[in-house]
């Protein structure tokens, strides 16, 4: 390019915009549009005599998306309107995702809250008629706690150590094989895990039904989840921290134990807790291996026990048994509360132990 080029020789840049300010919808506009769409949606729904409230809701959602786009396009311009369109779609998707969750919790609380009391929590079903009132979930709660506890005691250390091997030591074929089998195990259906333990532990080795047999199957289901989540967390630990520790003359095993794992402990705990929450709801392998029981059996190594998911199934299995239905809802409420509490504890631990910046 020569220095003689003058301004007039250049192609003029297209004028994109002259002004830096533009008309803007007020802050309450999205809320206003939402209220309006719901109102119009209800009017249309009622007017057309649509029976299902889901239809009313869908009409409102559609109106909300279209109205917020149209209004914004009119007032603010097309680029802003596209932004509003994306935002409103995300809101609708969020509500669609939350509605089933909230309605599930609300319905369970409605149905179960009246049943859950002190008597329900500390009595078993021994000597209680299936079709009659009374009885409780103590035996099932105890069984769930013992079986899940034992499964965690087996699966968490093995899973953690496997992940440490894969991330810190594993090279070559053995590591690849282990990764492959962990992937395969992630996809094993719970009934297959149950059948495997049944054929090896009970039919093969001749042990009886017990809570422990159930926890073996639960441990098989839990292990790959723990390995995967722990692996992810360990890989997130920057290599610089390992090198910093080596450079201080700290051996590798101590570096892993005192630097790498503490840095990742928040995420590891969350992963283990989520795996626990997942196996708490397992029914099929437990039914096969723990069997069912109406009495309290405090020994998980000997004889049939009960378990909350199996209890719910048992109480709900008789047709037109209103007392059984009520007990099933009560047990479901306790199960959900238990899993929710585990999640909250996991989040608390993750927040408490995660590396902190700031003063």
Partner 1 sequence: MAKRIDVSGLSAFYGGTKAIEDISMTIEPRSVTAFIGPSGCGKSTFLRTLNRMHEVIPGARVEGKVLLDDENLYGPGVDPVAVRRTVGMVFQRPNPFPTMSIYDNVAAGLKLAGVKKKSVLDGIVEQSLKGANLWKEVHNRLNKPGAGLSGGQQQRLCIARAIAVQPEVLLMDEPCSALDPISTLAIEDLIGELKSRFTIVIVTHNMQQAARVSDRTAFFNLAGVGQPGKLIELDDTQRIFSNPSVQATEDYISGRFG
- Does 9 participate in binding partner 1 (rule CB under 8 A)? no
The residues, any chain, with a CB within 8 Å of residue 321's CB and separated by 6 or more, are: 130, 131, 315
Query: Please, which residue, 47 or 358, has the CB nearer to partner 1?
Result: 358
Whole-angstrom distance, CA of residue 99 vs CA of residue 114: 23
- Does 241 participate in binding partner 1 (rule CB under 8 A)? yes
Query: Please, which residue, 43 or 244, has the CB nearer to partner 1?
Result: 244
- Does 355 participate in binding partner 1 (rule CB under 8 A)? yes
Collapsing DSSP to helix, strand or coil, 303 comes out as strand
**Closest of 346, 312, 341, 272 to residue 111, by C-alpha:** 312
User: Which of residues 249, 319, 320, 322 is near partner 1 by CB under 8 A?
Assistant: 249
For residue 265, the minimal CB distance to partner 1 (Å) is 8
Two structure tokens written together for 130: 């299936």
- Does 348 participate in binding partner 1 (rule CB under 8 A)? no
Whole-angstrom distance, CA of residue 343 vs CA of residue 348: 9
For residue 243, the minimal CB distance to partner 1 (Å) is 6
For residue 351, the minimal CB distance to partner 1 (Å) is 14
**Closest of 303, 285, 328, 314 to residue 148, by C-alpha:** 285
Whether residue 311 contacts residue 320, with contact meaning beta carbons closer than 8 Å, is answered with: no
Whether residue 115 contacts residue 326, with contact meaning beta carbons closer than 8 Å, is answered with: yes
- Does 3 participate in binding partner 1 (rule CB under 8 A)? no
User: Which of residues 2, 320, 322, 359 is near partner 1 by CB under 8 A?
Assistant: 359
Map the footprint of partner 1 across residues 201-240, applying CB under 8 A: 238, 240
SS3 percent helix, strand, coil of the chain, rounded to 5, is 70, 0, 30
Map the footprint of partner 1 across residues 114-173, applying CB under 8 A: 171
Contact map string, positions 255 to 274, toward partner 1, x by CB under 8 A: x--xx--xx-x---------
Residues near partner 1, by CB under 8 A:
171, 238, 240-251, 254-255, 258-259, 262-263, 265, 353, 355-359
């Amino acid at each position: 390019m020569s220095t003689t080029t003058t301004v007039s020789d250049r192609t003029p840049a297209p004028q994109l915009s002259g002004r830096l300010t533009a008309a803007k919808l007020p802050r309450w506009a999205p809320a206003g549009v939402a209220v309006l769409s719901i109102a119009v949606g209800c009017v249309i729904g009622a007017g057309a005599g649509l029976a299902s409230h889901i239809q009313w809701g869908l009409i409102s959602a559609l109106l909300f998306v279209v109205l917020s786009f149209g209004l914004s396009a009119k007032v603010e311009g097309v680029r802003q309107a596209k932004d509003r369109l994306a935002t409103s779609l995300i809101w609708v998707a969020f509500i669609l995702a939350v509605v089933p969750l909230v309605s599930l919790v609300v319905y369970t609380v409605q149905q179960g809250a009246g049943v859950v009391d002190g008597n329900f929590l500390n009595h078993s079903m021994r000597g209680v008629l299936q079709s009659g009132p009374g009885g409780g979930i103590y035996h099932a709660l105890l069984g769930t706690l013992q079986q899940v506890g034992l499964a965690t005691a087996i699966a968490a250390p093995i899973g953690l150590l496997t992940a440490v091997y894969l991330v810190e030591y594993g090279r070559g074929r053995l590591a690849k094989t282990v990764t492959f089998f962990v992937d395969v195990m992630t996809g094993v259906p719970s009934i297959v895990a149950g059948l495997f333990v049944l054929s090896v532990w009970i039919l093969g080795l001749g042990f009886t039904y017990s809570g422990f047999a159930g926890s073996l199957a639960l441990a098989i289901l839990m292990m790959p989840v723990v390995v995967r989540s722990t692996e992810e967390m360990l890989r997130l630990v920057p290599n610089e921290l390992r090198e910093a520790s080596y450079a201080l003359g700290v051996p590798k095993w101590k570096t892993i134990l005192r630097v790498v794992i503490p840095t990742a402990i928040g995420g590891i705990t969350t992963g283990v807790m989520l795996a626990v929450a997942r196996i708490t709801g397992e029914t099929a392998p437990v039914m096969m291996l723990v069997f069912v029981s109406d009495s309290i059996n405090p020994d998980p190594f000997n004889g049939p026990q009960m378990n909350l998911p199996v209890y719910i199934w048992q109480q709900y299995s008789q047709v037109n048994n209103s007392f059984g239905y009520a007990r099933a809802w009560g047990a479901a409420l306790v199960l959900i509360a238990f899993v929710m509490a585990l999640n909250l504890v996991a989040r608390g631990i993750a927040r408490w132990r995660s590396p902190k910046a700031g003063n």
